[in-house]
């Protein structure tokens, strides 16, 4: 937040700051989806809808989950929320009570620990390292489980590393989940942004038994470039969705009626945009990975999905300018902001000191110029 605020201030002063800290696609929402939103306004679809979302949208979501993920849910076991984030929040609030332990791995999406704290739960964080491609192992999961363990949060392709579990890894995890009777919240928001021959498999699709213990969360923000429309959803066991619905009904009620109409079109309309955007992000991923890993002293995991890269910059800790010594990822991000005029997010924000997150949600030209500046700034340290 501090880096972001400072970057904005510098931009407001007219400085040429390249912002690689953003967490959203840089594409406009496809025209057919925008038109559906406009039509909803003209047709006066501007009132409350039922709390869990219009039936037409929940039917479209049920069809998507069946066709793309092999998962069958009745529309009553689906809830539409104000972004995937609200579904995640409602799921955590529904499942986690005083002292319950929630397991997830670092580097993590920044909101997970805060959501657990807001539910009076305790975060149990598994350190997933570069050596295991930022995935945690079954042994690490077993070691993290205690009698108080209640929920496992899974998220892949991951923010901030782009790591992704394979079907075999998920099957091993499913055995542990069943044996230890954990609930799972599976955050599938980057499902469609996946590269090379990696394939996305939803955790709930591994077996009928884990489906009964899993809340699947997904949304429209990343797949259809709809971050500002604030629309997402969850599907899962009826009792949990019912509890989530109660929380939503006394906090925000239904998601925007206009965004719901647009979301119906996103799911039922042409899907070419999704593949075109994925391809563009894959090109950028290749470009950024090659450029970053050629910087001396940096090692880097090649992201399997999402639109972030998470380089290891530990070699630069202890280096200095004439006035400033870099001790940690925050110092490094501040240095890059002021020296290179490039905004990145320090790894510490994701529970992983020694890294920064660079979002490749920018044009190739911007990426080239920004990485050139990062390289020059790092090379001038001694």
Ligand X SMILES: Cc1ncc(COP(=O)(O)O)c(C=O)c1O
Q: Does 61 bind ligand X (CB under 6 A)?
A: no
Residues between 208 and 267 with contacts to ligand X, criterion CB under 6 A: 219, 221, 227, 232
Q: Between the CA atoms of 355, 358, 364 and 370, what dihedral angle is there, to the nearest 10 degrees? A: -70
- Site residues for ligand X, 172-191, by CB under 6 A, read 187, 189
Gap between the Cα atoms of 167 and 207, Å rounded: 11
Answer positive or negative: Cα dihedral of 226, 227, 228, 229: positive
Residue nearest to ligand X (CB): 83
* Closest approach of ligand X to the CB of residue 102, in Å: 15
Please report how close the Cβ of residue 21 comes to ligand X at its closest, in angstroms: 12
Residue written as token pair 């070699």: 315
Task: Looking at residues 273 to 312 of the shown chain, list those that interact with ligand X (rule: CB under 6 A).
Answer: none
Stretch that binds ligand X, among 14-22, 80-88, 122-130, 297-305 (CB under 6 A): 80-88
Select the span of 78-86, 97-105, 264-272, 336-344 touching ligand X (CB under 6 A). Answer: 78-86
The pair phi, psi for residue 90, each rounded to 5°, is -65, -40
Cα-Cα-Cα-Cα dihedral sign, residues 301, 302, 308, 311: positive
User: In terms of CB distance, is 121 or 305 closer to ligand X?
Assistant: 305
Stretch that binds ligand X, among 32-40, 82-90, 171-179, 343-351 (CB under 6 A): 82-90
Q: How far is the CB of 323 from ligand X (least distance, A)?
A: 35
- Reported as type and span, the H/E element at residue 312 is none
Q: What is the DSSP string of 34-88?
A: HHHHHHHHHTT--S---TT--HHHHHHHHHHHHHHH-----GGGEEEESSHHHHH
**Tokens representing 172?**
């091993």
Backbone angles phi, psi at 240, to 5 degrees: -70, -45
From 83-91, 96-104, 237-245, 297-305, span contacting ligand X (CB under 6 A): 83-91
> Residue 157: is the preceding peptide bond cis (ω within 30°)?
yes
Among 20, 73, 109, 360, binds ligand X (CB under 6 A): 109
- Shortest distance (Å) from residue 161 CB to ligand X: 11
Regarding 159 and contact with ligand X (CB under 6 A), the answer is yes
CA distance 23 to 302: 18
> Does residue 108 interact with ligand X by CB under 6 A?
no
Q: Residue with structure tokens 């906090």?
A: 251
CB of 189 to ligand X, least distance (A): 4
Residue nearer to ligand X on the CB measure, 101 or 187: 187
Residues of this chain that bind ligand X (CB under 6 A): 23, 83-85, 109, 155, 159, 187, 189, 219, 221, 227, 232
């Amino acid at each position: 937040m501090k880096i972001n605020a400072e970057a904005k201030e510098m931009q407001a002063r007219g400085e040429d700051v390249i912002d690689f800290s953003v967490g959203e696609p840089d594409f406009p929402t496809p025209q057919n989806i925008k038109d559906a939103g406009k039509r909803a306004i003209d047709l006066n679809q501007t009132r409350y809808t039922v709390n869990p979302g219009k039936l037409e949208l929940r039917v479209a979501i049920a069809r998507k989950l069946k066709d793309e993920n092999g998962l069958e849910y009745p529309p009553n076991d689906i809830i539409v929320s104000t972004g995937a984030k609200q579904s995640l929040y409602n799921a955590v609030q529904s499942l986690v009570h005083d002292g319950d332990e929630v397991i997830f791995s670092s580097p993590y999406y920044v909101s997970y620990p805060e959501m657990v704290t807001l539910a009076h739960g305790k975060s149990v964080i598994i350190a997933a390292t570069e050596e295991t491609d930022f995935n945690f192992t079954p042994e690490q999961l077993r070691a993290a489980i205690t009698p108080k363990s209640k929920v496992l949060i899974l998220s892949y392709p991951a923010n901030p590393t782009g790591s992704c579990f394979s079907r075999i890894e998920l099957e091993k995890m499913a055995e542990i989940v069943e044996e230890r009777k954990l609930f799972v919240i599976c955050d599938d928001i980057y499902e469609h942004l996946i590269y090379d021959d990696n394939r996305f498999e939803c955790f709930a699709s591994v077996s009928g038994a884990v489906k009964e213990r899993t809340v699947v969360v997904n949304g429209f923000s990343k797949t259809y470039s709809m971050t500002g429309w604030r629309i997402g959803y969850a599907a899962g066991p009826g009792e949990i969705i019912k509890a989530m619905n109660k929380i939503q009904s006394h906090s925000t009620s239904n998601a925007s009626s206009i965004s719901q109409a647009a979301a119906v079109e996103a799911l039922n309309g042409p899907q070419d945009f999704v593949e075109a955007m994925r391809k563009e992000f894959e090109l950028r991923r290749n470009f950024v990975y090659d450029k970053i890993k050629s910087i001396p002293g940096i090692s880097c995991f090649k992201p399997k999905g999402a639109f972030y890269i998470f380089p290891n910059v530990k070699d630069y800790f202890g280096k200095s300018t004439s006035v400033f010594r870099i001790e940690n990822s925050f110092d490094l991000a501040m240095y890059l902001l002021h020296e290179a005029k490039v905004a990145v997010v320090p790894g510490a924000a994701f529970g992983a000191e020694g890294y920064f997150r660079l979002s490749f949600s920018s044009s190739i030209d911007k990426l080239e110029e920004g990485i050139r500046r990062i390289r020059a700034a790092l090379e001038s340290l001694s």
